[in-house]
Amino acid sequence: MLWFAATAPAQDVGTACAQQAAAQAARALKAQSEPGGARDRGFLWRISKGGHDSWLYGTMHVARPDWVIPGPAVAAALRESERIALELDITDADIARRLGAAQAPGGGEPLPEALEQRLQGQARAACIPDAISQSLSPVLLALNLAVTAGRADGLDPAYGIDAFIALLGHQLGKQVVSLETPEMQLEMLTGGTPEERVEMIDRTLADLEKGQTRRMLKRIADVWSGSRLDELERYASWCDCMKTADDRRDMKRMLDERNPAMAEQVAAWHDSGERVFAAVGSLHMIGPQGLPALLKARGYRVERIVFRR
């Protein structure tokens, strides 16, 4: 679940630094130059149909500060695009308000006492203030703990690539839009029966307690930074996250069931004549239900852009 968890509250310093970096990158792109010293990371495809191009970009929801500036190929695609489409534009004030409202604890059944103690223990270990931990539902608190587990390795949701691209898009004067709604994403993350939610929290905490979450975040981040698509395509074989029926059900809900609607929306914008830069979590790009495959099935020419090293 590491790639799909709701973004943890960003520290002010991270947000301020990201905004400053976005402004610097935007000035470079507007001047038709490349942001100095940056190299391409992640996964980029050009899709072509009807005489013009759009792009698919696989992102990382947690990252290091020096990863946020786009390299030459990604910068060129951003510059040539008219519309930037993200899972959610979390820099949008209305989106942020709705996310905050939807994340609040509901009136559901309390967790079993032992599980609640484990959850709060992990929150304290992660130095999450009580005001924040108490403002989230148990499921979202567990998922926030998962996405912040890489901070010891320099991986922080405050520098998530999606949020930076949103900031950069606004700086460039592009139309920045969301492919999904806060309500859709939170229903996807927190839906299911009370028993399924308890089981999900228990599994998330077990991975945190064993150090598995941190190890997997680091490996995923290394794969993303190195643009190692062949390794990403084998994700199911090494993620230790597809062992049970519950694991496979969760993965299907988080990926396969969301991708067709994303592909349809990207195609609608492109077919109307727009050049689209669609940036979503990298796992949405792999397999027969990944966005490149779905758009190829719609008659698009799909070409992966291999970055220079």
pLDDT at 67: 93
What one-letter code names the amino acid at 10?
A
What integer pLDDT is reported at residue 9 of this predicted model?
A: 35
Cβ neighbours of residue 9 under 8 Å, at least 6 residues apart?
Answer: 132, 144
Phi/psi zone of residue 286: left (φ > 0), alpha (ψ -120 to 50 degrees), beta?
beta
Contact indicator for 14, 163 with CB cutoff of 8 Å: no
Listed by start position, the domains of the chain span 12-290
Backbone torsions φ then ψ of 270, nearest 5 degrees: -60, -45
pLDDT digits (tens, 9 = 90+) for 215-262: 999 999 999 999 999 999 999 999 888 888 888 888 888 899 999 999
0.85 surpassed by pTM: yes
Model pLDDT, residue 1 = 40
Helices assigned H by DSSP within 5-151: 12-30, 72-80, 93-103, 113-125, 130-133, 138-147
pLDDT at 105: 74
Size of the chain in residues: 309
Residues of the chain with pLDDT under 50: 1-14
Residue 10 backbone dihedrals phi, psi, to 5 degrees: -75, 145
